[in-house]
Structures are given as structure tokens and as C-alpha cells.
Structure 1
Amino acid sequence: MNCIFCAVIAGEADASIVYDDANVVAFMDIRPFTPGHLLVVPKRHGAGLAQLDPADGAHVFAVAQKIATALRTGPLPVDGVNLHLSDGAAAGQEVFHVHLHVIPRNRGDGFGLRAQPRTPRRAVLDSTATVIRETLREI
């Protein structure tokens, strides 16, 4: 396997570590959207959400929440925080090891979602909800 995040976890690749425990590591993103942008990564490799152990996912989110709180209450200028996870190439995932972005935000920082939300009819929402609900029963 040739995974840069696994190399970071193994100590074989450089990283600016913010947090490290038995199951999760958090380090600064080398291509940050904003100052302080970092990644929270489970130590067990999983390419996408389907391969992520649920306990690891819960721990990743808990660590991200703790880091977001530190960002909001610490000395760095942070007005808000976005948490972002891309699952799959179509969603923008570039490194295929699950990771949660913690992105500090300030007014006017230029970062944000650029898509225009749609306004579907209730019948379309209900139909889509039914499809998802039925699929959930199967997994």
C-alpha cells in the first residue's frame, strides 16, 4: 500500500502533529485553505467511509470537536470552524485514507461552498428519502 497518511502514522513521512493517541492522529494540512487547517485521521487504514470502523469514526469526530474547541478558544484568530469529509473521488477525496478536515474560519477568508442549493418539490424529497431508507434496511 502506498498511502501518505499511513506513512505519517508510521513516522515515515514528515508531519506537523497536533494530536496523537492510540487510534487517531491530527496534523496540519500541507495545502491549507485557511491558517490552522488540519486533518484528523484514524490510524487504521480505510479508503472511504464504507471501510471505516464506526468506533474509529466516532473517535475522529470527538477529536475534531476537541480541536475545534481549542481553535475557537485559543489565541489564534478564529471566528468559526468547518468540519469536512470527502468520500470518493467524485466528492473531491484526493488521499484515499479517511480523514476529516478541521478548517478554521474568519469572516471574509474566501473559503466556502460555492454550489447553488436546489429547491426540489416535497414529492421528490419524499421519494429520495424512501430510496435511502430502503437501502439502509439492506446494509
Structure 2
Amino acid sequence: MQPCVFCAVIVGEVPSHRVYADETAVAFLDARPIFPGHCLVVPRLHVHTLTDLPAPDIGPFFTRVQRVTSAVERAMAAAGSFVAQNNRVSQSVPHLHVHIVPRNPKDGLRGFFWPRGRYEDEAHASAVADRLRAALAD
């Protein structure tokens, strides 16, 4: 069994641009964002899929997803967002994670084709993470 990279992010063993953390969930920038501000929200509890998350944890987890979604939209001056979660198929890391992608009209995103990019550099990723943390503090 391979170690879980998201569990390593949660405990700080793998560097990330963390934008939110509490006893329930951790949110951080996707290393290969669709658009700047693309975040992943993961539960601290290691489960592979949404169906593995214990029922009492679903509400608290998605309350964090909702909060981060609002922050992404405000911080990135987005008209809306795309919130997605895969179970097994197309799930690159076997740890439940929800993608939150800022969206704007005519942004080029079509259906489920997700063109991946990179941040310009570490400073760009840090600046985007700072904006999201500030929006979460509101």
C-alpha cells in the first residue's frame, strides 16, 4: 500500500499552499490548476470516496466545502464556480477530495475537459493562496 499524498499534505509532510484547515478538513491550491484559485478540499479522515465518509461527517465536511467555495469566488472575483468530486474513476489520489474551480463566462472551460496549467511561479501561487486565506477570514 502506497502512502497517501493528501494525508502527507494534511500533516505537513508534503508542501502545499494551504488556504484553510480545521479539525474536519484541509483546503489547499491544486498543484495543476484549471484556473488560478483552483482548490482541493480534503477531509482529515482518510477515506477513498464520498461513499466511504461516515454519515455524521458529511455535513461538517461539506460545510467546509461551501465556505471555501464562497471564498474562491470572492477572492478570485469569479462569477461562479465549478465544484466537482470523482469517486474512483478519474480520481488521481485515492483520498476523498473536492475540486473548487473559479469560473467566469467565456473562460474556455468546456464540459468535463479540464485543461491543466501551472502557476507562473511560487510567488504567484503564494499570492493566490494569500487571497483565498484573506477571503476565508472574512
TM-score by length of 1: 0.73
- CA–CA distance in 2 between the matches of 1:34 and 1:86? 19
* Number of matched pairs: 112
Q: Could you report, residue by residue, the CA deviation over 1:42-83 in whole angstroms, capped at 9, with x for unpaired residues?
A: 000001123212233322211121122223334x23111111
- CA–CA distance in 1 between the matches of 2:84 and 2:17? 20
Instruction: Note the residue ranges of structure 2 that are not aligned, 5 or more in a row.
Output: 114-138
Q: Is the 8 A contact 1:34 1:111 kept in 2?
A: no
Q: Is the 8 A contact 2:43 2:97 kept in 1?
A: yes
Q: In structure 1, the residue corresponding to 2:86 is in which secondary structure?
A: coil
Matches within 5 A, 1:1-139: 1-74=2-75, 76-89=76-89, 92-114=90-112
Instruction: Note the residue ranges of structure 1 that are not aligned, 5 or more in a row.
Output: 116-139
User: Comparing 53-62 with 12-21, which one deviates more in the overlay?
Assistant: 53-62
Q: In structure 1, the residue corresponding to 2:6 is in which secondary structure?
A: helix
Where do 4+ consecutive residues of structure 1 move more than 4 Å? none
